[in-house]
Amino acid sequence: MTSGTLTRRIVPPIPLGGRNATRVIERNLLVYRRMWMVIFSGFFEPVFYLFSIGIGIGQLVGDVAPGVSYTEFVAPGLLAASAMNGAVFESTMNIFFKLKYGRIYDAMLATPLSPGDVAIGEIGWSQLRGLIYAVGFMIVMIGGGLMPSIWGLLAIPAALLIGFGFAGAGMAVTTYMRSWQDFDMITLATLPLFLFSTTFYPLSVYPDWLQTVTQFSPLYHGVDLIRGLTLGNLDWSLLGHAGYLLAMGFTGLTIAARRVEKLLLS
């Protein structure tokens, strides 16, 4: 047994921390300071969808509900989908490279950083990226008159909540991946979520069996939360959606921290 192996095995278990997580965020900021267009590029996709589908098809569809145009209906769904896509991309492909090829986390864990710091820091970074998308998209919505309720301003923290849920789950799943081919499964999961989470159509138009399945979708909870805020349809179900996303995020965060510790410190 080598001394390096012995040293790695006698390291005591490290609990979920977070006190030094800002160091991970700071490291990502330094890396991306010369690649800022990579971050902002993700903002444009939902905007293109909004103008092509929301405005184009909206002229044919008309109102989805009394006083609610199709574009007003679709816009919050696209904001939620944008939060999901940004969080999933940041917490899967980038995390996988750092974990398997860049060996970034090996270097981080040789410092006082704990696996919990790494997990919280990476998820926190994805939240910052999601905040940029949410604020930019919100500006487009306000400029287009697509936010009829002042409660819609709360859609920004709601989008961050969606990002937290998907970032936690994404990082946890990534720790089990073995090759780049596994990312086909990520696309296989996110595409149906995007299409069948009431992003483009009300839940009532789905077949009964699909309505039941859809209500288990985490993106459905995010879409319904943001749509309720932007349209001013406030009820207790919004708290249920928020609780679902919080539970999803904390569960993923805990699993990710333990998996990083198991993979790199045992």
**pLDDT tens sequence across 80-89:** 998 888 888 8
Lowest mean pLDDT among 52-56, 133-137, 180-184: 52-56
pLDDT of residue 42: 65
Write the pLDDT tens digit of every residue in 200-245.
989 999 999 999 999 999 999 999 999 999 999 999 999 999 999 9
In the chain, what percentage of residues exceed pLDDT 70? Answer: 89
Distance CA 39, CA 132 (A): 9
Whole-prediction pTM = 0.85
What pLDDT sits at residue 242? Answer: 96
More confident residue, 52 or 3: 52
Asked if residue 7 has pLDDT above 60, the reply is no
- Region 63-75: mean pLDDT is 86
The CB density around residue 83, as the number of other CB atoms within 10 Å, is 35
Looking at every residue in the chain, the average pLDDT score rounds to 84
Q: What is the pLDDT of residue 162?
A: 94
The pLDDT score that the predictor gives to residue 251 is: 95
Q: What is the pLDDT of residue 95?
A: 86
The whole-angstrom separation of Cα 169 and Cα 204 is 28
pLDDT attached to residue 13: 44
Express each pLDDT in 8-46 by its tens digit: 433 344 445 556 888 888 888 887 777 666 666 666 777
**More confident call, 189 vs 62:** 189
pLDDT in tens, 115-127: 888 888 888 888 8
